[in-house]
Amino acid sequence: MMISVKTWLLSSRRRWATRRLPMGCMSGIPELPGIWPCWADRLAVDSMQIKSHEWVGIVLAGGRSRRMGQPKAQLPWPGAAGTHSWQDHAVTCLQQVCAHVRVSGAAELPDLHPGQPGPLAGIAAALTAFPGQHCLFLPVDMPRVTRADLTALQAVDTAHAAYRDSLFPLALYSTPDCLHRVQARLSAQTPQARSVKALVADLGAELSWLNAAEPQRLCNINTPEDLKTLAQLQD
């Protein structure tokens, strides 16, 4: 039975629009010459024309670092020559697994809710800037995260993924529904409701929970005491 192009495209949208597509997903999916399937509809989010099957790495670096007493993003990376910082290290980690990397809180990706503490504002900024993209979020204060920790999140077949041992690193597929959930959490009245923990609970079956190979790698470094412990581990 013959079907129209319009009917086929509408059918494609229903099948693919809400699925999380891994890197390299273009193979094996039917396309018509010169026509993108509806799940791959995308905006020109910046001058680099990021493709829909590529990952965007987001360094969350907009925190106030109150407990550390100094900006964590600019802390020098132990043993690195020159001015290599924690932020530089996080960017390097994401560059290993993502086609593009941005720093939230910086001029290239400013927070849309600068008065809101915590990482939700940075997440909202990234999902707004990169609709239809797979975003991989890494806080600047998780220096022990490895490439394996990141690629495990990218390998799941659900829209989103997180670790049971730690909410970060976090993989989110930027859909209107996901962005709406983030914005709703930003508008909540209590700190508990304005949290990433509350957000991932909202995502339900759309999110895969992973067990970390080494949970200690997913620890945040928040205080000078944490920093001393990190230095001892690296010695």
Q: What is the pLDDT of residue 164?
A: 92
Q: How far is CA 216 from the centre of its chain?
A: 20
Q: Which superfamily is assigned to 51-234 in CATH?
A: Spore Coat Polysaccharide Biosynthesis Protein SpsA; Chain A (3.90.550.10)
Strand partners, 85: 76
Provide block-wise average pLDDT over 10 residues at a time, the chain (235 residues).
39 38 33 29 40 84 62 70 80 95 86 76 94 95 92 95 94 96 92 93 94 90 72 61
How far the first Cα of the chain sits from its last, in Å, is 69
Q: How far is CA 144 from the centre of its chain?
A: 17
Q: Is 220 left (phi over 0), alpha (psi -120 to 50) or beta?
A: beta
Q: How far is CA 209 from CA 99, 151, 153, 160, 231, in A?
A: 24, 14, 9, 9, 30
Q: How far is CA 25 from CA 28, 29, 122, 137, in A?
A: 7, 8, 27, 21
DSSP one-letter code for 116 = -
- Kindly list the domain boundaries of the chain, sorted by start residue: 51-234
Q: What is the pLDDT of residue 225?
A: 75
Q: What is the pLDDT of residue 61?
A: 85
